[in-house]
Amino acid sequence: MRDLDVYEGKALRVIAQVKRGDVGRIAELTGLNEDQVRKAVQGLKERGLVTLTVLERETITLGEKARELASKGMPERLIVDALDQIGGRAELIKLKEQMDLGESDFSAGLGKALENDWVKIWKAADNKTWVETTGKAGVKSVEELLIQALMEKEVVSTDDLGEGEEEALKRLLRRPRFVEVATTRTEMVEVTALGEKAAEEIGVEEVEAVTTLSPDLIKTGRWRYVAFKPYDLNAPSFPIFVGRRHPLRELIEEIREIFVSMGFVEIGGPLVELAFWNFDALFQPQDHPARDMQDTFYILDPEASEIPDRDLIDPVRRTHEDGWETGSTGWSYRWSLEEAEKLVLRTHTTVDTVRDVYEAGETPRKSFVVGNVFRNEKVTFKHTNEFFQVDGIVIDERANLRELMGVLSEFFRRLGMRKVRFWPSYFPYTEPSIQASVYVEKLGKWIELLGSGIFRPEVTMPLGVRWPVLAWGGGIERMAMIRYDVEDIRDLYRNDLGWLRRIPKRLSLP
């Protein structure tokens, strides 16, 4: 036996594998074209390795006209339906006018309806032609049934037609463009026992090794006959950069969630503030070192602005000078309006909470603010001249020191910090004052994170509030540094893309 040629070999391997298939499929699977396959099959057949059977079949598909009508129905059906709607009887001319069928469809439909004995026609004495239903149109005609079947299956072989359907086909074929009959030819190839043995003998072809599974390989099915080169599973991957939040922002967003979930309302305020609100309203005396140009940024232009809350000026002035009605001694100095009208970059977000006290008045309220604040400091590994703070307040007639500690404890717990310690502290605007520290396991030490207290009456009374107001605040960078193991605060603002892209995400686990 002469050796199989390349095409024969390819074809035989495929045929042996699929056992049976038409030329088209073998062509797909081998990647040869159909003529090449036919030639090869001829050679294989001569050697008794495969058999070839040619099948011819007639198939019926819906014609153009039937598709067009499909959504509405056959014309004869439309005529009967139309008649039924107008009482079963009509003058022929009127019916024709009324129905939106073309001339030819109407005539054909009427003919069919008569043939099916669905309607009858007669001429009346006045010479008008009338049409009337017979009441027998309730059953679908054989044509209708066949068209329905074709719509469902698309292709039907003539071999599969039932008795009634053959009759229907004949009838439909008489009507132009309703159905089409075509002959298809299938060349089925089947492997013989000899062929299987031969396939085994020639063995597996040295298969093509591929790197990429291309769309072409998938579409043609050739993937079955190729080998995929193995990869080094740990080879470096092409980098994909996740769009991520800045770590500091991630913490800020989390802090916002925490306070909202604790029932706090978020507030805000501008960066450029009146010294009046930033300091005076917080009972910080005008010669307090924190108000010095060395510590606070003052705006160059405009340098000052009028205090819109005119009615507050006098109570605040008096409170500073002699305590006003607050029961305090005050700071005993001459308060200057000019100093209070200066514009500063806010040095703490407490400016926003204290204004909120004024705006809310004696109403039970819990609010918080997150924002950037400014201190005219030299930038070092420990301090930046701009940083984020969170501040919060609780206004309530019943508010007390224990509740202040409660808010702070719960806040820390939600940030995943369970060991909290409270120590006495000092702020000019709170009394009692508390500093809250947390124990950071990985650093093995206590870190002070929040300052807090109950606003002094010298702060709240000029604002019209005699109720206790719990207040706290602190820098967010320090919390971020603990969380992200940052030792130099400036690194948070260095925006090194490598760091931002690769720093592992940290979640709070309360």
- Least Å distance, CB 139 to other proteins, is 55
11 binds other proteins (CB under 8 A): no
Identify the residue among 21, 43, 63, 457 touching other proteins (CB under 8 A).
Answer: 457
Identify the residue among 400, 418, 443, 466 touching other proteins (CB under 8 A).
Answer: 400
Q: Count how many Cα atoms sit within 13 Å of the Cα of residue 113 in the half-sphere of its side chain.
A: 27
- Least Å distance, CB 309 to other proteins, is 16
Q: Which is nearer to other proteins, 133 or 430 (CB)?
A: 430
423 binds other proteins (CB under 8 A): yes
243 binds other proteins (CB under 8 A): yes
308 binds other proteins (CB under 8 A): no
Segment 325-344, which members bind other proteins (CB under 8 A)?
326-330, 332-333, 343
Q: Which is nearer to other proteins, 110 or 370 (CB)?
A: 370
Tell me the CA end-to-end span of the chain in Å, nearest whole number. 81
Segment 245-264, which members bind other proteins (CB under 8 A)?
245-246, 248-249, 253, 256, 259-264
Identify the residue among 125, 204, 235, 293 touching other proteins (CB under 8 A).
Answer: 293
> If you write DSSP's letter for every residue of 145-212 in order, what string do you get?
HHHHHHHHHS-EEGGG--HHHHHHHHHHHHSTTSEEEEEEEEEEEEE-HHHHHHHHHH----PEEESS
Region from 1-9, 166-174, 199-207, 241-249 binding other proteins, contact rule CB under 8 A: 241-249
- Least Å distance, CB 265 to other proteins, is 5
The candidate with the shortest Cα–Cα distance to 142, out of 172, 185, 118, is: 172
Segment 425-454, which members bind other proteins (CB under 8 A)?
425-428, 430-435, 448, 450-454
- How far apart CA 455 and CA 278 sit, in angstroms, is 14
| Site mask for other proteins (CB under 8 A), range 43-62, x = bound | --------------------
- How far apart CA 115 and CA 510 sit, in angstroms, is 84
Region from 128-136, 190-198, 308-316, 322-330 binding other proteins, contact rule CB under 8 A: 322-330
Q: Are 50 and 195 in contact (CB under 8 A)?
A: yes
- How far apart CA 55 and CA 43 sit, in angstroms, is 20
Q: Which residue has the tokens 């036919």?
A: 38
- Least Å distance, CB 510 to other proteins, is 14
Q: Are 394 and 407 in contact (CB under 8 A)?
A: yes
- Least Å distance, CB 394 to other proteins, is 5
Region from 48-56, 214-222, 225-233, 423-431 binding other proteins, contact rule CB under 8 A: 423-431
- Least Å distance, CB 352 to other proteins, is 11
- Least Å distance, CB 481 to other proteins, is 14
Three-class DSSP category at 219: helix
Q: Are 450 and 350 in contact (CB under 8 A)?
A: no
Segment 263-282, which members bind other proteins (CB under 8 A)?
263-268, 270-272
User: With 0-12 CB in 10 A as exposed, 13-18 as middle and 19+ as buried, what is 70?
Assistant: middle
242 binds other proteins (CB under 8 A): yes
- How far apart CA 255 and CA 238 sit, in angstroms, is 35
- Give the bridge partners for 21, in sequence order: 189
Q: Which is nearer to other proteins, 108 or 248 (CB)?
A: 248
Segment 12-41, which members bind other proteins (CB under 8 A)?
none
- State CA 136 to chain mean position distance: 58
- How far apart CA 106 and CA 101 sit, in angstroms, is 6
The candidate with the shortest Cα–Cα distance to 59, out of 175, 223, 170, 184, is: 184
Q: Show Cβ contacts of residue 52 under 8 Å, excluding neighbours closer than 6 positions.
A: 41, 45, 187, 188, 189, 190
Segment 344-373, which members bind other proteins (CB under 8 A)?
345, 347-348, 350, 364-366, 372
Identify the residue among 132, 309, 341, 377 touching other proteins (CB under 8 A).
Answer: 377
The number of residues that bind other proteins (CB under 8 A) is 119
Phi, psi values for residue 213, rounded to 5°: -85, 100
